[in-house]
Amino acid sequence: MKYIWFAALAVLVALPLFAQQTSASQGGAPDTAALEQRIKDLEERLIALEGQVRMLKSGQAGATGQPGAAQPAPAATEAVQAPPSPAAPAPTPLPTPVAEGVAPVGGQLPNYGGASASAKALNPDISVIGDFIGAAGTNSALPLATMQPFPSMQMHESEVGLQAIIDPYARGDFFISFGEEGVNLEEGYITFTALPAGLVAKAGKMRSAFGKVNTMHNHVLPWIDRPFVTTNLVGGEDGIDDAGFSIQRILPAPKGIFLEATGQVFRGDAGDVFKASQRSDVSTVAHLRAYKDITESTNLDFGLSYARGHNDAGAVISLSSDFLTQLYGIDATVRWKPLRRSIYHSFVGRSELIWSQRQQPLREQRAFGFYTSGDYQLGRRWFVGGRYDWSERSHFANLTDKGASAVLTYWPSEFSQLRGQYRFTKYAEGINANELLMQLIFSLGAHGAHPF
């Protein structure tokens, strides 16, 4: 890599010298043309060299390389990581951490913080997303209710994302969420991208493919809270988020329909939905997704989901639980975004219907719930939306919570977002709550993918 820099430098230096020499010794018109041609050739070589240097800097050379797209540029990496890494130009070993942490083997000090930018180019993409939520109004929900009120102010979540390509066969993604009280591995998984027969496999901890909202991180939701049906039937904010593996594949389908099947097996622990009391209590999730472009600006997205696992109902009686919970879901999304004005106007309408069938002592509980929402983009920075909620509770299917929300979102830039949500809740116990929620989301570091 250094040689290329030298070569590029040499060409740069040689260029004017060479030009001077030749023009001094000769002067005819045909020679000028030849000279111009040679300068042009040198220019071409220089541009080619610059391109190679850029590729090397962004770590794209070789099979383990990163895309310009998925990897922050050296400059950006530097900006993100400036505090912990010394900006020393020479590769000086750092004695302090070595002395404290690692015993050097064979007298050779590990060379931490190497000064070359290429060492950083292979670091994972680092990003942090802050999620600050405030709430006003009254909500005197009983302690029994699944949906508990937000505190007046909270740093709800600070999500650190670390993402990189592992090797030519796989990539890794980590999302570590720091709440106010503790740290939680929200997701951490490896994706095998180079499997035969079009299969894509994942292993690790991940949000399961049950429906739409369950797969979404807080900061990509179109609301501040999650729909009541998610909280009542699918485990709330964390949802079905468990350790296991996943296989997905695009299936052949006619008429330009995108059809994809996903099968997942998890340990069987997910909030108050699933609880594994022995190794064989694994849970399974299956999802079938059909998608079609109606026009270039409108598309339909439809999904069927199924989840099955053991619940905690038996745990009070014996150590193991033979009580099962099964969930069935239907989700539908319609999106509109005119391509010529895609940054100004769009509409997303979505709905999810979920049925829960929970075995528990005395009587099986069959609960149903749904939400319907619509979000319209008014201009480049403004979005309005609304949501209607209706959901029974999984443990007590005769109790129904209802609610409606209006949402207004403002985007100062692609990297921050201010949102207000007015929420009316009619709890099953007959308590009504009128609340105003405010949220500020801000993102640092690597440019993530836009949600779809």
Which residues between 21 and 60 bind another protein (CB under 8 A)? 44, 47-48, 50-52, 54-55, 58, 60
Query: In the complex, what is the shortest distance from the CB of residue 321 to another protein, in angstroms, rounded to a whole number?
Result: 10
Nearer to another protein, 153 or 294 (CB): 294
Tell the burial category of 157 from Cβ atoms under 10 Å away from its Cβ (0-12, 13-18, 19+). Answer: buried
User: How far is Cα 134 from Cα 444, in angstroms, rounded to an integer?
Assistant: 21
Which residues between 178 and 237 bind another protein (CB under 8 A)? 191, 193-200
User: How far is Cα 411 from Cα 414, in angstroms, rounded to an integer?
Assistant: 7
Nearer to another protein, 154 or 193 (CB): 193
309 touches 324 (CB < 8 A):
yes
Per-residue x/- mask for another protein, residues 148 to 167, rule CB under 8 A?
Answer: -----------------x--
Q: Cα–Cα distances in Å, from 81 out to 77, 177, 261, 412?
A: 6, 19, 39, 25
Nearer to another protein, 2 or 450 (CB): 450
Considering only 38, 249, 267, 426, the residue that binds another protein (CB under 8 A) is 249
Query: CA quadruple 220, 221, 224, 230: dihedral positive or negative?
Result: negative
Nearer to another protein, 347 or 422 (CB): 347
Choices 107-115, 136-144, 247-255, 360-368 (CB under 8 A): range interacting with another protein:
247-255
Instruction: Kindly state whether residue 342 participates in binding another protein, applying the rule CB under 8 A.
Output: yes
Q: Look at the chain and count its residues.
A: 452
Largest Cα separation within the chain, whole Å, is 105
Instruction: Kindly state whether residue 62 participates in binding another protein, applying the rule CB under 8 A.
Output: yes
Considering only 109, 296, 366, 378, the residue that binds another protein (CB under 8 A) is 296
Query: In the complex, what is the shortest distance from the CB of residue 263 to another protein, in angstroms, rounded to a whole number?
Result: 3
User: How far is Cα 122 from Cα 59, in angstroms, rounded to an integer?
Assistant: 6
Q: What angle do CA 203, 205, 209 make, to 5 degrees?
A: 85
Which residues between 94 and 123 bind another protein (CB under 8 A)? none
Instruction: Kindly state whether residue 174 participates in binding another protein, applying the rule CB under 8 A.
Output: no
Instruction: Kindly state whether residue 291 participates in binding another protein, applying the rule CB under 8 A.
Output: yes
Residue type, position 92, single letter = T
Which residues between 382 and 421 bind another protein (CB under 8 A)? 413-415
Phi and psi at residue 137, in whole multiples of 5°? 100, 180
Nearer to another protein, 1 or 75 (CB): 75
Query: In the complex, what is the shortest distance from the CB of residue 361 to another protein, in angstroms, rounded to a whole number?
Result: 16
Six-digit token pair at 272?
A: 């108050």
User: How far is Cα 244 from Cα 286, in angstroms, rounded to an integer?
Assistant: 13
User: How far is Cα 84 from Cα 77, in angstroms, rounded to an integer?
Assistant: 12
Query: In the complex, what is the shortest distance from the CB of residue 429 to another protein, in angstroms, rounded to a whole number?
Result: 35
Query: In the complex, what is the shortest distance from the CB of residue 412 to another protein, in angstroms, rounded to a whole number?
Result: 8
Query: In the complex, what is the shortest distance from the CB of residue 197 to another protein, in angstroms, rounded to a whole number?
Result: 4
Query: In the complex, what is the shortest distance from the CB of residue 49 to another protein, in angstroms, rounded to a whole number?
Result: 10
Instruction: Kindly state whether residue 449 participates in binding another protein, applying the rule CB under 8 A.
Output: yes
Considering only 68, 113, 149, 204, the residue that binds another protein (CB under 8 A) is 68
- The DSSP line for 384-424 is EEEEEEEEE-SS-TT-EEEEEEEEEEEEEETTEEEEEEEEE
Choices 132-140, 143-151, 213-221, 333-341 (CB under 8 A): range interacting with another protein:
333-341
User: How far is Cα 345 from Cα 323, in angstroms, rounded to an integer?
Assistant: 48
Nearer to another protein, 141 or 334 (CB): 334
Instruction: Kindly state whether residue 280 participates in binding another protein, applying the rule CB under 8 A.
Output: yes
The answer for 180, left when phi > 0, alpha when psi is -120 to 50, beta otherwise, is: alpha
Bridge partners of residue 237, in order along the sequence: none
Instruction: Kindly state whether residue 378 participates in binding another protein, applying the rule CB under 8 A.
Output: no
Query: In the complex, what is the shortest distance from the CB of residue 276 to another protein, in angstroms, rounded to a whole number?
Result: 11
